[in-house]
Chain A
Amino acid sequence: MLSQQIITLIDKELKKYPADQRQSAVMAALRFVQDEKGWIAPDDMSDIAEYLGMPQMAVFEVATFYHMYNLKPMGQYTLTVCTNLSCQLCGSGDTLEHLHKRLGIGLGEVTANGKYGIREGECMGACVDAPMFSINNKQLCGRLTNEKIDQILAELDKQ
């Protein structure tokens, strides 16, 4: 079941598109589910399909095509590390290594307490702030150093 909050958000999104183009809101709908639950389960996809009046397979296609959707639980805080060229040149390898040391997990893994997950991202379009990671696809943290990463983690630990 989609929560009332998600339905309200989807309805707002639907207003952007012609009335007979409800499918246009599918990307946003998947994003809202992920924002609420942390990941998107097959049941959520069925619910979205039903609500938007589109085939379940078409929702699945979208969810699997775009990289930023979590199709399995990725922790309360998903840290997506960009490793593309500008970030690589500026030390994204060290970023990953430091996260690995601090959290004890590698790419695609989640800490045992379910608090953190690490994903590898593609270019975030913020290359002048390399190296960087995003938190839950919402907040970009750039020009990372080990000290800065420690500060960010300390802040998140408190929440």
Chain B
Amino acid sequence: MSAQIILATAADGLAKLDNYVKAGGYQALRKVLTEKMSADAIIAEVKASGLRGRGGAGFPTGLKWSFMPKNYDGVKYLVCNSDEGEPGTCKDRDILRYNPHVLIEGMAIAAYTMSVKAGYNYIHGEIFEAYEVMEAACEEARKAGYLGKNILGFDFEFDLHNHMGYGAYVCGEETALLESIEGKKGQPRFKPPFPASFGLYGKPTTINNTETFASIPYIICEGGQKFAELGVPNSGGIKLFSISGHVNNPGNFELPMGTPFKKLLELAGGVRNGHKLKAVIPGGSSMPVLPAEIMMDVNLDYDSLQKAGSYLGSGAVIVMDETTCMVKALERLSYFYFEESCGQCTPCREGTGWLYRIIHRIEHGEGKPEDLDLLLSLCDNIAGRTVCALGDAAAWPVQGMLKHFRKEFEYHIEHKRCLV
């Protein structure tokens, strides 16, 4: 396999089954079936790979798989979370539209491991083109015997269906996503019970991100150890990074974990029009912003970013140059969380509205000096006090901005205009 493990472009033509097979596709699935690999052996391999959930939370994948009940006679489900709506993130879209079979193969291996016969792939509603590619790819895989009954002639059955979302960020939360597949409003469930015991239609369910599943075939073919060694300790493997905002060449890049941010910025053509870098949101809009001087020395992996005061999240890197008004940027993000709160928990439903209204008034020259402390106190009353993490996601950007760019907010309040 080439250095590019998951990421493809339209020119690679991998959306067509023949091309995917010619490029070595479905060998991992064939391997687990031919060698009759045990579930324990596969899980051990995934654990050795150091693969952690690529949706943003970074939960160890092998461990998650081991939570599914074994020797269980009833129906179990496998769900892929392709509801990629965290602002800045658009890596899964390229897997879906340019390399759909690597996802199907990864899910089939996961299904074999956990003895699951039915799976759903929940796709972000805004990317209809990717949904159509996935529908066609599943149909092609079904006809060729990679999905359905007696896969590749073995006594193994797994079918996969695509379910389209229709514009609700909160459905990226795994239990909201399950509610949505069940045909309901996407309001997260209280946990426990966790999906591994009470998931889709009340049955044991495992949910992983698209990129997570797509990493599995490589791990099976080449071994978990080899995947782990591509990255750095505690952040195994390669990762897709979406870099957007103020760069000359925005795009998706597949890089080893631990790659310096400086390198990614270089690949993206540097800051647009030769401007100076001001700040970066390193892992999707929910992650705390970091100023340029910290970012330019940071490596892109779980531990390095956490040490720097933010998180790797989904690997979506939003770049802001010196012309960016941080108040305006935060106003837009806060509006997003206010708009997308499902309304179930009071601290989030009311709190996100307060955050937005206060930041809005600061941006529009009506802020008061006490507003900044009020914002922080609101954050304390939202984060950690809700059923799902959307509350935390709304609070972290505010806390990050006030930690690093408080002066800019104070200037706005005092002078009723922008510093930049």
CA gap between A145 and B410 in the complex, in Å: 34
- The answer to whether A90 and B245 touch across the interface, beta carbons within 8 angstroms, is yes
Residues of A within 8 A of B124 (CB): 124-125
Contact with A54, one of B129, B183, B250, B333 (Cβ below 8 angstroms): B183
- The answer to whether A123 and B336 touch across the interface, beta carbons within 8 angstroms, is yes
Residues of A within 8 A of B165 (CB): 27, 66
B51 in the interface (beta carbon within 8 A): no
- The answer to whether B166 and A69 touch across the interface, beta carbons within 8 angstroms, is yes
Among listed B4-12, B30-38, B291-299, B316-324, interface-contacting one: B316-324
The answer to whether residues A68 and B125 also contact, given A86-B244, A125-B84, A127-B316 and a CB cut-off of 8 A, is yes
The answer to whether residues A138 and B167 also contact, given A62-B184, A123-B87, A126-B93 and a CB cut-off of 8 A, is no
- The answer to whether A138 and B128 touch across the interface, beta carbons within 8 angstroms, is yes
> How many A-B Cβ pairs are below 8 Å?
159
Residues of B within 8 A of A17 (CB): 161
Within 8 A of B (CB), among A36-73: 52, 54, 58, 61-62, 65-69
CA gap between A74 and B126 in the complex, in Å: 17
B100 in the interface (beta carbon within 8 A): no
- The answer to whether B126 and A134 touch across the interface, beta carbons within 8 angstroms, is yes
CA gap between A66 and B340 in the complex, in Å: 10
The answer to whether residues A128 and B244 also contact, given A54-B183, A68-B125, A140-B129 and a CB cut-off of 8 A, is yes
CA gap between A130 and B201 in the complex, in Å: 37
Contact with A85, one of B128, B180, B245 (Cβ below 8 angstroms): B245
Residues of A within 8 A of B128 (CB): 137-140
The answer to whether residues A128 and B167 also contact, given A26-B183, A88-B329 and a CB cut-off of 8 A, is no
Residues of A within 8 A of B342 (CB): 65
Contact with A124, one of B127, B161, B201, B285 (Cβ below 8 angstroms): B127
- The answer to whether B316 and A124 touch across the interface, beta carbons within 8 angstroms, is no
Least CB distance, B189 to chain A, in whole angstroms: 15
A156 in the interface (beta carbon within 8 A): no
Least CB distance, A74 to chain B, in whole angstroms: 13
Residues of A within 8 A of B350 (CB): none
- The answer to whether A125 and B318 touch across the interface, beta carbons within 8 angstroms, is no
A107 in the interface (beta carbon within 8 A): no
Contact with A122, one of B164, B316, B328, B336 (Cβ below 8 angstroms): B336
CA gap between A64 and B198 in the complex, in Å: 27
Within 8 A of A (CB), among B328-376: 328-329, 332-333, 336, 339-340, 342
- The answer to whether B244 and A84 touch across the interface, beta carbons within 8 angstroms, is no
Contact with B164, one of A31, A90, A140 (Cβ below 8 angstroms): A31
Q: Which of B86, B168, B244, B329 has the largest number of chain A CB atoms within 10 A? A: B244
Q: Which of A23, A30, A67 has the largest number of chain B CB atoms within 10 A? A: A67
CA gap between A16 and B339 in the complex, in Å: 31
A28 in the interface (beta carbon within 8 A): yes
Least CB distance, A156 to chain B, in whole angstroms: 17
- List 15 additional contacts besides A31-B164, A84-B336; criterion CB under 8 Å: A16-B120, A21-B201, A24-B181, A31-B166, A67-B166, A68-B167, A88-B328, A123-B85, A123-B169, A123-B285, A124-B124, A125-B93, A127-B87, A127-B89, A130-B244
Between A and B, 16 residue pairs with Cβ closer than 8 Å are: A21-B201, A27-B163, A68-B125, A68-B167, A86-B245, A88-B328, A90-B244, A122-B339, A124-B124, A126-B127, A127-B87, A128-B250, A130-B244, A130-B250, A137-B128, A139-B128
